[in-house]
Structure 1
Amino acid sequence: MKEVIAIVRINMMNQTKRALTDCGVDAFFAHEAHGRGKGFVNPRILEGVEHGYEEAASLLGEKGKLYPKRLLTAVVEDSMVGCVVDTIINTNQTGMPGDGKVFVLPLKNAIRVRTGETGEKAIV
């Protein structure tokens, strides 16, 4: 079992949900999140500065600004990891900074509270 954690843009959530369902993953969590990357500047802000927009110039000074994102978490069988990761990347990749990140973590065990089932039986 693996836990796949993805950080994606808010406006990509509906497409990502549909794509994950098409991939065979119906169970996942989505959380509101705020964060930032290593400091890439949005090209639109730079264009705004070049055109003389004061609002854009003021945004360049916000070093600590956190941007709204969505954090997706899915626990899947090992055989599904490739499909899930590829689906998230293909759905969210625009080639621009802020497309997101995907993390894959090993998971020792899962237990379904209702039945007491453990391991992969608990997640299928």
Structure 2
Amino acid sequence: MKEVIAIVRMNMMNQTKKALTAAGVDAFFAHEATGRGKGFVNPQVLSGAEEGYEEAASLLGEKGKLYPKRVITIVVDDDLVDTVVDTLITTNKTGKPGDGKVFVLPIKDSVRVRTGEAGIKSIS
């Protein structure tokens, strides 16, 4: 089993839900978050701010704000990982900064609380 964590734009959430369902993934978690990638920070401005230049620090305040995002967490069988990742990328890629990130992590085990089923049975 793998956990797929995706950070996507807020306005892409409905399309992402539909695409995941079409790909055979009905169960997932989504929650609101704020953040930014390194692409939103000019390295020269950051360097100037670190050196104590007030002008650079004020510019960093404008460019360094946090942006609203959605974090989607999906636990799937190993066979579905590539499909899920491809679906997330295809649905959310605009070619502009802020499209998001996808992380894939191993899951050692899981247990469904209601039935006690473990492993892959607990997520299917």
| TM-score normalised per structure 2 | 0.82
Please tell me whether residue 100 in structure 1 is matched to residue 74 in structure 2.
no
Please tell me whether residue 82 in structure 1 is matched to residue 82 in structure 2.
yes
- The number of residue pairs the alignment matches comes to 108
Which deviations, in whole Å up to 9, do the C-alpha atoms of 1:15-72 show, x marking residues without a partner? 000000000000000000000010437xxxxxxxxxxxxxxxx987424411000000
Contact 2:40 2:64 in 1 (8 A): no
Please tell me whether residue 70 in structure 1 is matched to residue 70 in structure 2.
yes
2 CA distance for matches of 1:59 and 1:91? 33
Which structure 2 segments of 5+ residues have no match?
42-57
2 CA distance for matches of 1:79 and 1:98? 28
Which structure 1 segments of 5+ residues have no match?
42-57
1 CA distance for matches of 2:107 and 2:98? 27
- Relative to its length, the structure with more helix (as a share) is 2
> Secondary structure of the equivalent of 2:31?
strand
1 CA distance for matches of 2:75 and 2:119? 11
| TM-score normalised per structure 1 | 0.82
Question: Which stretches of structure 1, 4 residues or longer, exceed 3 Å deviation after superposition?
Answer: 58-61
How far off is 1:87 after superposition? 0.1
Please tell me whether residue 120 in structure 1 is matched to residue 116 in structure 2.
no
